[in-house]
Structure 1
């Protein structure tokens, strides 16, 4: 009796919408190998890092708000050190950037904005997150870190007010994280 073994690989890529190397280093591609053996066995199951299941930007007319959250141990040591981020499997970093649309099909331009975030888990426990401004060349980011414990679904209520605008743009990001 022959045992046919097939290997399937699923690839999910999150493409950055700006040219910044830093966003590319944060977002990257997530690779999930699944090995299937025989017809009756289940695929191998592994605990996976948080994956972008929801949208990672929202359009607000003349502006786009980009956002992402990931465990800080997914950052390279060099990136974490350069931006003063503590690498840990029980810490999550939120990254928010605001881009202004200059013209149709033209590159978006980063703009200064006030970014305020409320973070909480599904038990309603508030998480302390303080956003800080980071710039690299023309790129402008707001980043903040928050701790997690075990498996948590975090909700980030993000309020962004670009300089010169009076009303904030509101975005909600909900993501599951598993601390090792």
Structure 2
């Protein structure tokens, strides 16, 4: 009987040791969220891209945007630092995916009370990463500032 108890105790000890939480497995670190603004001298450019199915139906309808998990929308605004006011700007965007395929995005200006922003949309595929190259010339400036960011979209 003592041998059986010893065998059971050793088996239990082996099981407990096998469950050890040592550092043999590495947990992947979370990636930091990408930037959503860029300082361009006297102004700050705010930008965001999202799947249009995330827009509330009334908002999408008001701006003529098709809600779909296969469409992405880019939103850009330019804020003057001195008074934190939205300013008109010339905003041009060139977009491509990671294979170099160009995506056409035509930006249009939206004016709402004290806000001015620029929106445009394009089609996307599941797990497609888009690289947005944004050129901004704030009103009263003659120099273009460039902002680049990328986003991965999930359509499933």
Question: How many residues are aligned here?
Answer: 128
Distance (whole Å) between structure 1 residues aligned to residue 66 and residue 38 of structure 2: 28
2:143 match: secondary structure: coil
Give the alignment's TM-score, normalised by structure 1. Answer: 0.68
1:159 match: secondary structure: strand
State the partner residue of 2:70.
90
CA RMSD of aligned residues (A): 1.8
Distance (whole Å) between structure 1 residues aligned to residue 152 and residue 126 of structure 2: 11
Whose Rg is larger? Answer: 2
Question: Runs ≥4 in structure 1, deviation > 6 angstroms?
Answer: none
Distance (whole Å) between structure 1 residues aligned to residue 87 and residue 39 of structure 2: 15
State the partner residue of 1:101.
81
State the partner residue of 1:60.
40
Give the alignment's TM-score, normalised by structure 2. Answer: 0.78
Distance (whole Å) between structure 1 residues aligned to residue 38 and residue 94 of structure 2: 18
**Higher helix fraction (1 or 2):** 2
> Unmatched 5+ residue regions in structure 1?
1-38, 41-51
1:70 lines up with 2:46 in the alignment:
no
**Higher strand fraction (1 or 2):** 1
Distance (whole Å) between structure 1 residues aligned to residue 128 and residue 41 of structure 2: 33
> Unmatched 5+ residue regions in structure 2?
1-18, 21-31
Cα offset, 1:150, TM superposition? 2.3
